[in-house]
């Protein structure tokens, strides 16, 4: 029989200090602030390190200010650079951003539809400046974006 409980240890969250269950690898998501306990994030505190979407130092600052740990568009692009496949929601619709091996950045609906034509960009800067949804620039509506994260297989 599996000994599920014994595999977990309880430690204080590196960001908010609340207790969080971590596995054998010291990894676990804080239910209080959403921070993923992760050694790499602590080792490189100013970089976005998977599975977190913001750097450790930024997460601490946001938490102290009482703000949610939410990535900026720049943080999102840093994640994209590492992980190649990202997703986010806007007005309940799931979008995908993929960095293909031919160095094109493809911005599309996660579930393709006729009403949204996929956009292709050639640099992160171009994506950040020009990506749009229904005529609104992504950078201008980023505050309304939710669940910006590494892509999960559905």
Binding site for Zn ion (CB under 5 A): 13, 15-16, 30, 32-33, 35
Residue 105: strand pairing partners:
99, 121
Per-residue exposure over 37-52, b if at least 16 CB sit within 10 Å of its own CB, e if not: bbeebeeeeebbbebb
Tokens 């568009």 label which residue?
73
In the complex, least distance from residue 63 CB atom to Zn ion, rounded to whole angstroms: 7
User: Would you say 52 or 99 has its CB closer to Zn ion?
Assistant: 52
Choose between 60 and 127: whose C-beta lies nearer to Zn ion: 60
Least Å from the CB of residue 74 to Zn ion: 23
Cβ distance to Zn ion smaller for residue 59 or 105: 59
Hunting for tokens 């980023």 — which residue is that? Answer: 142
Q: Minimum distance from CB of 68 to Zn ion (Å)?
A: 12
Least distance to Zn ion, CB of residue 123, Å? 35
Rounded to a whole number, what is the distance in angstroms from the first to the last CA of the chain?
Answer: 29
**21 beta partners:** 10
Nearer to Zn ion, 13 or 73 (CB): 13
């Amino acid at each position: 029989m599996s000994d599920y409980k014994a595999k977990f240890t309880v430690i204080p969250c590196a960001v908010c200090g609340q207790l969080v269950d971590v596995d054998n690898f010291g990894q676990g998501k804080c239910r209080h602030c959403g921070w993923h306990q992760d050694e790499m994030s602590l080792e490189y505190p100013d970089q976005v390190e998977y599975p977190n979407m913001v750097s450790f130092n930024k997460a601490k600052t946001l938490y102290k200010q009482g703000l949610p740990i939410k990535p900026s568009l720049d943080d999102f692009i840093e994640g994209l650079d590492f992980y190649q496949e990202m997703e986010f929601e806007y007005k309940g619709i799931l979008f995908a951003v993929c960095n293909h091996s031919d160095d094109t950045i493809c911005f599309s609906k996660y579930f393709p539809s006729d009403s949204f034509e996929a956009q292709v960009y050639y640099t992160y800067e171009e994506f950040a400046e020009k990506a749009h949804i229904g005529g609104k620039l992504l950078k201008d509506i980023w505050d309304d974006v939710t669940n910006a994260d590494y892509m999960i297989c559905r």
